[in-house]
Amino acid sequence: MDFFAHQERARRNTLWLIIYFLITIVAIISLVYLGVAGIAHAATRGDEQPIDFYTFHPRILIGVIVSVLAVIFGGSLYKTVQLGGDGNRIAVELGGVKVQPNSRDLDERILLNVVEEMALASGTPVPPVYILEEEGINAFAAGTSPQNAVIGVTRGCLKTLSRDELQGVIAHEFSHILNGDMRMNLRLIGLLFGILCIAMIGYVLFRILIEIPVRSSSRNSDDAKGIIAVVVALFVTSMILMAIGYIGVFFASLIQSAVSRQREFLADASAVQFTRNPSGIADALKRIGGWKRKSQLKTVYAKEASHMFFGQGVKSLWFATHPPLQTRIRRIEPSFGGTFPDTSAIQHSEADIVDPNTLKLRRQNLASSHVAALAGVQQFEEKPTSAVSHVGNPVEEHIDHAQQLVREMQPLLVSEVHDPMGAIAVIYSLLLAPASSETRATQLDVINQYHGAPVRDEVLRIVSLTDALEVEQRLPLACMALPGLDQLSDPQVGTLRTAVRRLIEADDRWTIFEYALQRFISRRIVLRSSAPKPVSKPSQEHLVSAFQTVLSTLAHLGGNAHAEAAYQAGWKSWTSGPSPLSILDKDQCTLSKLDKSLDLLHETNPKSKRAMLTAFSECIAHDQRVTINEVELLRVISDALGCPMPPVLPNV
């Protein structure tokens, strides 16, 4: 199974879960109806027109349906909104403290680097990282899409795990992000909470009843009788609501935990696949077993969020959201004997900041890749089409490649991107026109005008370093700078947006790199303030024309001579037939049109996304050479489709 199959399965599972929940809700409605009818029957027994329990009362049923649905959906909507979208809020709620991107603490530095490498390797934005001040060894991922995901680890994790083990844990969390587990969990928790609301209302009613003393001031015996009857009726109602609510929650939690346990196995397996290092994650699991505090958490929210964690956060048997440690380890390492080694805190060294193991390997291959990059055209080892199979599925080579990219950048640049002002300076200097051109002077004036001299001086300080970067390093460096923008205030973000636009348009033309960078920045910034609005499902006709636009743009990038053929190759891979629509003219492929088309294509199902990405890759690969422009645009496309694609590996 690959990324698309997992996404598809997650969607199907969600559908099944919704069906289960619908059955539960129908059962709840029937039970509440029976309860209400029973009470009404008992209360009106002496009246002239008693409500008969055995006849059907549509008015009661409608009332029950409306109120039960209002409570369940109100509750689940509230919970989904509360936990939904932004992972940052969940992390803060769990007691997480955001790690400053420019932190100088050794443990935190290592953690940030590991996360950054995983993000670059899998083609996702670098997520914000949180630390929970907990002794237990645990970690979590939160957020509903790669764009708003965050990663959190406990202090215990940093103190006891080696770099390799930490990498295994982070890879496990990335699998949750990439496989869309969090979105499914979110729906589950929402519905669970909705059902719990029924029990809560019953409980509140019950508390109110036992708190109010029954007054015997009323001497009228009929009144007293009436009051007692009402109190008894309410009492029974509260009991019934509580019973129904808790029984519903019980079954719903069983479903939730069962699903969660399956996803944990999958994430463990994916972690091995990503890192090609089974011992990393296996050793991390063993350390949990040998650690005095295991993976337990103290925070009061731990129970609610237990499904998000790396290890079991709260003790439980039936409702365990994670399989037992031994079982998890045996799946990775069948020979595991079952005894855990003692875990004690370890001391990280400076050498761990970058991964020492791969350092020497990579150096040998440097020279050849530089020669290829200088020619402006890269020879790629793998066909870009095979990159589609790596979507959401980075392998060791991608991580190595990411580590290598980072390592080859000047340390000054790497430390610069982790600082908010430095991040801005790096982005601006990447946008500058070639040195000593007139455009560059104008651009520097623009920076000065929007941000003042300090930022301009900072840009001047680092611009010689960014000028010296290889072409394939520029976009990754910009992506590394994006988390730094999270620290900016809203006015600063506004300034940044306008300034970026002015810098790009200083030479009256957009390059693919500029387009990619601008798109990544606005995605990061827009997500910060609000969740993206869902677009209504587009018609087939619109989809086809959107596909035509994107494919035409890609085909033109490859050069005029081959554009038509490349376009046809891509179309053939999509529909296995000749294209009914001919290629768009070059001047019809505008960036704003591309933007709109990408938003439309995002709304399709995983299967057709796969087909489309394969078609795009076929189109790129048609002329047997892949330029950096094509690779960058493909990254933008895969990001826009929500299918994070690892960088295409250069032929090193």
Partner 1 sequence: MTGFVVGLLVVGAVVVLFLMYLVGLYNNLVALKNRFQNAFAQIDVQLKRRYDLIPNLVETAKGYMSHEKETLEAVIQARNAAMAAGQRAASNPGDPSAISNLSTAEVALAGSLNRFIGLAEAYPDLKANQNMLALQEELTSTENKISFSRQAFNDAVMHYNTACETFPGNLVAGFGNFQKAALWELTDTAQREPVQVKF
Residue 205 found at the interface with partner 1 (CB under 8 A): yes
Packing angle, helices 221-275 and 325-332, rounded to 10: 20
Up-side HSE of residue 442: CA atoms within 13 Å toward CB?
12
Instruction: Candidates 7, 31, 75, 481: give the one binding partner 1 (CB under 8 A).
Output: 75
Number of residues in contact with partner 1 under rule CB under 8 A: 48
CB closer to partner 1, 104 vs 215? 104
In the complex, the smallest distance separating the C-beta of residue 564 from partner 1, rounded to whole angstroms, is: 50
Task: Return the range that interacts with partner 1 (CB under 8 A); candidates 72-80, 396-404, 612-620, 623-631.
Answer: 72-80
Window contacting partner 1 (CB under 8 A); options: 101-109, 159-167, 554-562, 598-606 = 101-109
The verdict on whether 134 is a catalytic residue reads no
Sketch the per residue contact string, 16 through 45, with partner 1: x for CB under 8 A, - otherwise.
--------------------x--xx--xx-
Contact flag: residue 13 with partner 1 (CB under 8 A): no
Give min distance, CB of 89 to partner 1, in A.
Answer: 6
Taking CB under 8 A as the rule, which mask of x and - marks residues 354-393 in contact with partner 1? ----------------------------------------
Subset of 216-245 contacting partner 1 (CB under 8 A): 234, 237
Residue 74 is a binding residue for partner 1 (CB under 8 A): yes
Q: Give just the sign of the alpha carbon dihedral 62, 64, 68, 74.
A: positive
Instruction: Tell me the C-alpha distance between 228 and 261, whole Å.
Output: 49
Residue from 10, 60, 346, 460 touching partner 1 (CB under 8 A): that is 60
Among 250, 490, 498, 535, which residue sits at the site for partner 1 (rule: CB under 8 A)?
A: 490
Of 94-102, 109-117, 312-320, 358-366, which part binds partner 1 (CB under 8 A)?
94-102
In the complex with partner 1, the residue whose CB is nearer, 100 or 273, is: 100
How big is the CA angle at 28 (ends 44 and 243), to the nearest 5 degrees?
75
State the minimum distance, in angstroms, from the CB of residue 26 to partner 1. 18
489 binds partner 1 per the rule CB under 8 A: yes
- According to the binding rule CB under 8 A, does residue 204 interact with partner 1? yes
β-strands 129-132, 96-98 pairing: antiparallel
Q: In the complex, what is the shortest distance from the CB of residue 445 to partner 1, in angstroms, rounded to a whole number?
A: 18
Partners of 97 in beta bridges: 131
Region from 58-66, 312-320, 581-589, 611-619 binding partner 1, contact rule CB under 8 A: 58-66
Binder among 162, 448, 492, 608 for partner 1 (CB under 8 A): 492
Pick the catalytic residue from 8, 108, 135, 173.
173
* Dihedral-angle region of residue 104 (phi above 0 means left; psi in -120 to 50 means alpha; beta otherwise): alpha
Token digits of residue 342: 């003692």
Q: How far is the CB of 96 from partner 1 (least distance, A)?
A: 10
Q: Which is nearer to partner 1, 94 or 516 (CB)?
A: 94
Q: What are the backbone angles phi and psi of residue 539, rounded to the nearest 5°? A: -75, 160
Q: How far apart are alpha carbons 80 and 74 in whole angstroms?
A: 10
Q: Cβ 631 to partner 1, closest distance in Å?
A: 33
Q: Is 200 among the residues that bind partner 1 (CB under 8 A)?
A: yes
Helix axes 106-122, 396-408, angle to 10 degrees: 120
Contact flag: residue 57 with partner 1 (CB under 8 A)? yes
Instruction: Report the alpha-carbon distance of residue 148 to residue 125 in Å, rounded.
Output: 9
Q: How far is CA 446 from CA 74, 237, 450, 493, in A?
A: 49, 69, 6, 16
Query: In terms of CB distance, is 83 or 171 closer to partner 1?
Result: 83
413-472 residues in contact with partner 1 (CB under 8 A) are 419-422, 454-455, 457-458, 461
| Contacts of range 335-342, beta carbons closer than 8 Å, 24 or more positions apart | 336/282, 336/286, 340/286, 340/287, 340/289, 340/290, 341/286, 341/287, 341/290, 342/290
d(CA 380, CA 43): 80
Amino acid code (one letter) for 342 = D
**Cβ-count burial 54-63 (b if 16+ within 10 Å, e if not):** eeebeeebee
127 binds partner 1 (CB under 8 A): no
Angle between helices 512-529 and 591-601 in degrees, nearest 10: 50
Residue with tokens 């009362």: 57
Considering the complex, state which of residue 45 and residue 607 has its C-beta at the smaller distance from partner 1. 45
Q: Which is nearer to partner 1, 77 or 565 (CB)?
A: 77
Report H helices in 84-135.
87-93, 106-122
By CB under 8 A, tell whether 203 contacts partner 1. no
Residue holding tokens 């060294």?
A: 349
- HSE-up of residue 30 (Cα within 13 Å, Cβ side): 7
Q: Which of 9, 11, 98, 501 forms a contact with partner 1 (CB under 8 A)?
A: 98
What is the separation of C-alpha 49 from the centre of its chain, rounded to a whole number of angstroms? 59
Widest CA span of the chain, in angstroms? Answer: 102
From the centroid of its chain, how far is CA 606? 16
In whole angstroms, how close is the CB of 602 to partner 1 at the nearest point? 28
Among 10, 27, 92, 269, binds partner 1 (CB under 8 A): 92
Query: What residues are annotated to the active site?
Result: 173
Task: Give contact residues for partner 1 (rule: CB under 8 A).
Answer: 36, 39-40, 43-44, 51, 57, 59-60, 63-64, 66-67, 70-71, 74-75, 78, 82, 89, 92, 98, 100, 102-104, 197, 200-201, 204-205, 234, 237, 419-422, 454-455, 457-458, 461, 487-492
